Amino acid sequence: MFGREVVLTKKGLSKIEGEIEHLKTVRRKEVSARIKQAIAFGDISENAEYDEAKNEQAQVEERITKLENMLKGATVIDENDIDTDVVNIGSKVVVKDVEDNEEMEYTIVGLTEADPYELKVSNESPIGRALIGKRVSDLVEIMIPDGHISYKIMDIRR
């Protein structure tokens, strides 16, 4: 189902397992109750509530299947195995923007865990690709949609 390797941190694995559990134990029951309620309205051949609930049921089941398949082939990064000498998946990287001296910390994660609002960047994103394999004090030029940015790596942590 996935054309590329799924790489997760332990937090990412936990989050996906939690979502699967929620979908199976809470959402399935909610949708089932909506289907029963819609059936109680009578003729289901022209029952919009029934159709909507059945569509939602299909979406929930599709999401469960997708997440379970994702986990089957996933590689989980153990935080204790993260090398702090070099940037890799699972690393927290403090960088300084060379132009404005602003510091920020990115966490390098696999594609499925990426969340730009939490500064979790995918190893496949322009920033992630540029940082992977670099060391403290390295200068990194990154091509982004708005042009380019230059970072100096200040620290690498787990």
Q: Which of 77, 104, 128 is the last residue of a domain?
A: 77
- The CA distance from 53 to 157, in Å, is 46
HSE at residue 11, side-chain half, CA atoms within 13 A, is 11
Residues 72 and 35: beta-carbon distance below 8 Å: no
> How many domains are there within the chain?
2
Establish if 71 belongs to a structural domain. yes
- Whether residue 85 is found in the same domain as residue 127: yes
Give residue 29's pLDDT: 96
Residues 10 and 18: beta-carbon distance below 8 Å: no
- Other Cβ atoms less than 10 A from the Cβ of 121: the count is 22
Give residue 154's pLDDT: 97
DSSP 84: S
- The CA distance from 38 to 19, in Å, is 26
- Whether residue 73 is found in the same domain as residue 109: no
Q: Which of 51, 77, 103 is the last residue of a domain?
A: 77
Establish if 2 belongs to a structural domain. no
- The CA distance from 127 to 132, in Å, is 9
Give residue 5's pLDDT: 77
Among residues 134, 110, 131, the alpha carbon closest in space to that of 120 is found at 110
Establish if 1 belongs to a structural domain. no
Per-residue model confidence as pLDDT tens for the chain (158 residues): 445 678 888 888 999 999 999 999 999 999 999 999 888 877 777 778 888 999 999 999 999 999 999 899 898 988 888 889 999 999 999 999 999 999 999 999 998 899 989 999 999 999 999 999 999 999 999 988 888 999 999 999 98
Domain that holds residue 30: 7-77
Q: Per the structure block, which two tokens stand in for 8?
A: 């997760």
Q: Is 22 exposed, middle or buried (0-12, 13-18, 19+ CB in 10 A)?
A: exposed
Q: Which of 55, 77, 99 is the last residue of a domain?
A: 77
- Whether residue 72 is found in the same domain as residue 88: no
Residue type, 76: V
Give residue 108's pLDDT: 95
State the pTM of this model. Answer: 0.74
- Whether residue 45 is found in the same domain as residue 84: no
Using the Cα atoms of residue 24, residue 16, residue 7 and residue 82 in order, give the sign of their dihedral. negative
